[in-house]
Amino acid sequence: MDRFRWCSDDVNSSASSGAAESLVLRQSGVRVYNGPGRTSFDNGILKLTTHRLIWSDHAGGSKIHLPLAAVASTQLQTSSGFTGSGTPKVVVKLLSPSALETAFKSLSDPPVWAGDWIVDRAEKHVAISSGIDFVRFGFTKMGHIEFEQALRETLQAKCWLVSNLPTTVSGRARGTGGILSIERAMAVKASSADRSISEAFEDLSRLISRASEMVALSRSLAEKHRSKKEAGTDVAEDETAELRRAMLSMGLSETSGAEISPLAGTTFEASSFHGQLAVQICKVLQPILTARTHGDRAHEFSGCIDLASAYCRINRARGVELISPEDLLYAAKMMKHLQLPLRLKCFESGVMVRSVPR
């Protein structure tokens, strides 16, 4: 709520400063949430204009507004709680206060009401800084789907960036030279970068959510596959190979931790990343192990290197493209099947090393 400001005006249809503001949609019975928490702004009227979101109570006594320039993204939330019921909501994710200030500075002709954000006045703040970067609007009388769609379309139009002023003033293009135009150009770039970063993190959050679902599904299939084996039910080879191929493509192992033994080579062929990694590891470690095998101190090393040391050497050689310990182990298990010069050797104590076969 710290991005909202108190206001006394309504939709500003005057074009004397910036593009004319017009009403897009009006919805009654709307309450405002500060992130997950409910506020005292309940059962009011929410107006969507080409430039702002304006909430007011039915008596018109309280009125707050939020510029659309502050909105990073929107999302529908149709249910909540364990029962899956509740007031449908529109979630509005916001730019940071500094990013919003930059966005206003990038405007060539900001509207009059933009002064509530450009000039920081405590009496205009609806709330102090809360660290919450999203608000929710609860629609007790429905209409949330139409409102969210209209909001997205208005955000794409970006009417607040349009200026109605003539392009020339006193024979010179307004703001085409000097420090002011340079600052404005820098502000435009910074505002665009802030919005792009916000959208990128949105995409990343969705990707992580989907990836978690895929991992859970893969592990569930593996458990069913193992249950069939334990029950003595025959499992087709192609079914086993396909399951392992899917798990390896996502970097997953079988939860039992058993040794991977491919069926007709299909499992290892499916993991092209680990195959290429195995080749790279051999190129890095083979000269070291060869020197240890034939050098003066061959009796100390026996042509072996423990996995911890190998892991450090490989990541040091790869620079920023680091690998996980699991990737190293997968690649080690694949070397024999790829007929590479190094092997994974496991001692009775459980210690695993890379070695040159003799």
Dihedral sign from CA coordinates of 205, 208, 212, 214: positive
Tell me the C-alpha distance between 291 and 294, whole Å. 5
Residue 46: per-residue pLDDT: 94
Residue 257: per-residue pLDDT: 37
Tell me the C-alpha distance between 273 and 271, whole Å. 5
Q: What is the mean pLDDT of each run of 10 residues along the chain (358 residues)?
A: 82 57 91 90 92 88 88 83 70 86 74 78 81 90 93 88 50 48 62 66 66 68 72 64 58 43 40 84 85 61 77 86 85 86 79 70
- Cβ within 8 Å of residue 15, ≥6 positions away: 164
Neighbours of 22 (CB within 10 A): 12
Residue 256: per-residue pLDDT: 39
Structure tokens at 294: 């034939």
Check if the beta carbon of residue 9 is closer than 8 Å to that of residue 132: no
Residue 265: per-residue pLDDT: 42
Tell me the C-alpha distance between 146 and 207, whole Å. 27
Tell me the C-alpha distance between 104 and 156, whole Å. 17
Residue 171: per-residue pLDDT: 40
Residue 135: per-residue pLDDT: 93
Helix, strand, or coil (residue 73): strand
Query: Which amino acid belongs to residue 17?
Result: S
Residue 250: per-residue pLDDT: 52
For residue 77, the cross-strand partners are 89
- Cβ within 8 Å of residue 213, ≥6 positions away: none
Residue 93: per-residue pLDDT: 92
Residue 163: per-residue pLDDT: 56
For residue 92, the cross-strand partners are 74, 135
Share of the chain residues as helix, strand and coil, in percent rounded to the nearest 5: 45, 20, 35
Residue 182: per-residue pLDDT: 61
Residue 159: per-residue pLDDT: 83
Residue with tokens 């959510």: 209
Residue 200: per-residue pLDDT: 67
Burial of 238: CB neighbours in 10 Å, binned 0-12, 13-18, 19+: exposed
What 8-state DSSP symbol labels residue 260?
P
Check if the beta carbon of residue 310 is closer than 8 Å to that of residue 260: no
Residue 176: per-residue pLDDT: 44
